[in-house]
């Protein structure tokens, strides 16, 4: 490990993720050098690369929930606000467990007179205080680590409803569009929300693209809208184009000046 590698790791640990262009500028190195550094750090098991950058590598037991809240917090807040703006008046909305979907819950207000059906007690504790929002919580086992409600009882509860929109997050999005998570019970609840909603809005920050996790939730192709901070991978973008899935970017990629 070089001093530059140590600096890159320190930045990723403090910020949650970094971009190649920002590291190159900060460390006075070429983008090619930074990409090589990130490949080496990934091979050593320290980081996970995504298109244009890298983030903390999540272990199979996943990163602590409170720490996940701090990773890409501004990006998640912007994604959450964009998701709320896209919700129709009077809608019934599933919100699944996750820090990006929790950011959407924090962005809610009572103006749209929504009914929220959550599978997470933290999300329910946010929305229940919002005047004009009706909150329903799935029944089942509450996971102490993050407040998610999981298990067969939660899935059976969700199967009793038909929502207008499901706000769904994912731990990883493969280039073929597969949505993945680290926990089977949580994935089963997310699947129940997707199949019982008229439309699915997928909420993921850019660090999730090109990553992998052991449990399959579904596919990007099942979504009507993909909301992210800055661009999915080219492969996922092409999939969305083919499937007619709208992409909304809260921080579009920088474009070179014309002329």
**Domains of the chain by residue range:** 3-57, 66-249
Residue environment code for 186-202, b if the CB has 16+ CB neighbours within 10 A, otherwise e: bbbbbbbbbebbebbbb
Looking at 1.10.10.10, 1.10.287.1770, 3.30.365.10, 1.10.510.10, the CATH number of the domain 3-57 comes to: 1.10.10.10
CA distance 138 to 141: 9
Confidence at 54, pLDDT banded by 50, 70, 90: confident
Pairing of β 17-19 and β 47-50: unpaired
CA distance 147 to 96: 11
The answer to pTM > 0.75 is: yes
Q: What is the CATH number assigned to the segment(s) 66-249?
A: 3.40.50.1360
SS3 string of 44-83?
CCCEEEECCEEEECCCCCCCCHHHHHHCCHHHHHHHHHHH
The three-class DSSP label of residue 144 is coil
Mean pLDDT of 38-54: 85
Give me the pLDDT at residue 231, please: 78
CA distance 72 to 50: 14
Angle between helices 3-15 and 20-27 (to 10 degrees): 130
Give me the pLDDT at residue 93, please: 98
Confidence at 60, pLDDT banded by 50, 70, 90: very low
Residue environment code for 19-29, b if the CB has 16+ CB neighbours within 10 A, otherwise e: bbeebbeebeb
Give me the pLDDT at residue 64, please: 63
pLDDT tens across 3-22, in order? 889 889 888 876 767 889 98
pLDDT tens across 185-203, in order? 899 999 999 999 999 999 9
CA distance 72 to 94: 23
């Amino acid at each position: 490990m070089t001093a530059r590698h140590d600096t890159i790791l320190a930045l990723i640990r403090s910020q949650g993720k970094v971009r190649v262009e920002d590291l190159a500028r900060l460390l006075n190195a070429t983008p090619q050098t930074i990409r090589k550094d990130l490949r080496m750090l990934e091979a050593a098991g320290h980081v996970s690369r995504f298109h244009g950058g890298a983030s903390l590598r999540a272990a199979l037991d996943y990163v602590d929930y409170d720490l996940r809240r701090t990773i890409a917090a501004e990006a998640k807040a912007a994604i959450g606000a964009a998701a709320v703006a896209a919700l129709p008046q009077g809608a019934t909305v599933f919100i699944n467990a996750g820090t990006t979907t929790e950011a959407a819950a924090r962005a809610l207000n009572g103006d749209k007179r929504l009914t929220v059906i959550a599978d997470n007690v933290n999300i329910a504790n946010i929305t229940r205080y919002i005047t004009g929002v009706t909150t329903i919580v799935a029944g089942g086992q509450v996971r102490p680590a993050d407040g998610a409600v999981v298990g067969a009882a939660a899935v059976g509860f969700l199967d009793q409803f038909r929502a207008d929109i499901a706000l769904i997050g994912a731990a990883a999005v493969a280039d073929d569009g597969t949505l993945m998570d680290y926990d089977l019970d949580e994935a089963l609840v997310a699947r129940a929300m997707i199949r019982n909603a008229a439309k699915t809005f997928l909420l993921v920050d850019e660090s999730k693209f090109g990553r992998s996790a052991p449990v399959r939730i579904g596919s990007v192709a099942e979504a009507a809208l993909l909301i992210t901070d800055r661009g999915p991978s080219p492969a996922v973008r092409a999939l969305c184009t083919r499937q007619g899935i709208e992409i909304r970017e809260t921080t579009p990629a920088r474009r070179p000046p014309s002329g």
